[in-house]
Chain A
């Protein structure tokens, strides 16, 4: 894109700046739009599984429901509790929202269509997603109210616990792809399964990792069945209890943005990213970004499906799963994967 702007007679620095800003907008705006849509999809899927209709009033099939909701919160009065720590109270939703968008910079939408093609892309995603917890923790603390505070405590423990196993799962993928660059990781999945299937999920050593990644990413994004930070029966609405209007909306956007990001990561790491699911020449006629979006959409459907069907975990069960099962198993698989790769001379 830089070349295009340079072609318009701009110097390199200006062309680079403009093209980067365009790239950011090209990613951020569709992501925000997609968030609005997936909220609607989430509610629809959830409703149909409960044999309800879900949103069906605003627009055809209720498709504009999210926008109506957005308008509603936008027009609401912002209420800041008098005992709250005002600065941090307002910063918290902004952090959550910003962080949810930041990580998209390194997701490859097509071969070469990547905003920041850095060679530690996966580490960057880990780093950014580890920031996500701050929005929640700060919100919980600055609200100066007990339920948000409990929720913040839960959130920090939960996210740290599952980041550990996610880290090890990613190590397995990185070992196989031999790179931290997400574009290289996608390329490494080209024809991975018997030269026909694109995606790491079909390896017997990586399939369990994929399952664990899916579960861990639900815990990491605090989606049901791990939504203990906003467990309404115990904590009212968790860290969001004291929030209203736009601040509340930013949390919503950030939360769904994170879910989408996890789906994108899942698609990129295990389902072959922008590659078609199987090696057929005819499938390559469809552009890569559409494949990626389809995979993200399917991933999100799985998230909704789980949310609609699985009851909420208890907190001690959540911790047990993270530390006593996922951590040792993922550690074992790092060992197995690296052993297998060494034995087969993968790095030679």
Chain B
């Protein structure tokens, strides 16, 4: 009972905030609705017993990705009039795409209703191990069966990082960088001098 209520609550909110994400006029509002959608999706994950995935969803998407999103979107200066002009121009294309996607959805649902679809059963190779928390179970699979793909995924992230640095990092000649070690090792005796200036004479530095 309470599970059903929770499910419908989370599911409705996910869909609703997903819809508002694309309908909201203000991009910052969009991102905030997106965050709500992530959050409710995490709730759905908890309901199916995947608490590890749920927490990761919040930590990674809400805690890091969406913050960066927000960071960028907040700094954008978006001209809504211009945006709408582009919208009208591209409307036919967007409409065609939307229509194709809708047709696919309808066909998919239709095929499902007609009994044409039989979902496959997962193969036994990745069956959950009894008595392990799903954190441990995921770890056990990732580092044995999927080790190769897991490590390669790491290299993908590395490439993304190299790419971001290559495309944005510029070596500018006019910047003086910090040298913390030499700054810290500097002593007051080298940096200051104590003088007892005579009245009316001033000091020479």
Contact = CB atoms under 8 A, between A and B. Distances in A.
A–B contact, 8 Å CB criterion (strictly below): yes
Given A119-B133, A163-B63, A320-B178, A156 B51 contact: no
Given A120-B51, A137-B67, A127 B180 contact: no
A13 B2 CA distance: 10
Interface stretch (B52-60, B84-92, B156-164): B52-60
Contacts of B42: 127
B101 interface: no
Interface stretch (A76-84, A128-136, A234-242, A300-308): A128-136
B71 A153 contact: yes
A160 interface: yes
A119 B51 contact: yes
B68 interface: yes
Contacts of A157: 71
Interface string A170-199: 000000000010000000000000000000
Contacts of A153: 71, 74-75
Interface string B98-109: 000000000000
Contacts of B178: 316-317, 320
Contacts of B56: 123
Interface residues of B, number: 25
Contacts of A118: 51
Contacts of A13: 2
Interface string B119-142: 000000000000001010000000
Interface of B: 2, 28-29, 32, 35, 42, 51-52, 55-56, 58-59, 62-64, 67-68, 70-71, 74-75, 133, 135, 178, 180
18 contacts: A13-B2, A88-B32, A123-B55, A123-B56, A128-B58, A130-B58, A133-B63, A134-B35, A134-B67, A137-B67, A137-B70, A137-B74, A149-B74, A156-B68, A156-B70, A156-B71, A157-B71, A320-B178
Interface of A: 13, 88, 118-120, 123-124, 126-128, 130-131, 133-134, 137-138, 141, 149, 152-153, 156-157, 159-160, 163, 167, 180, 316-317, 320
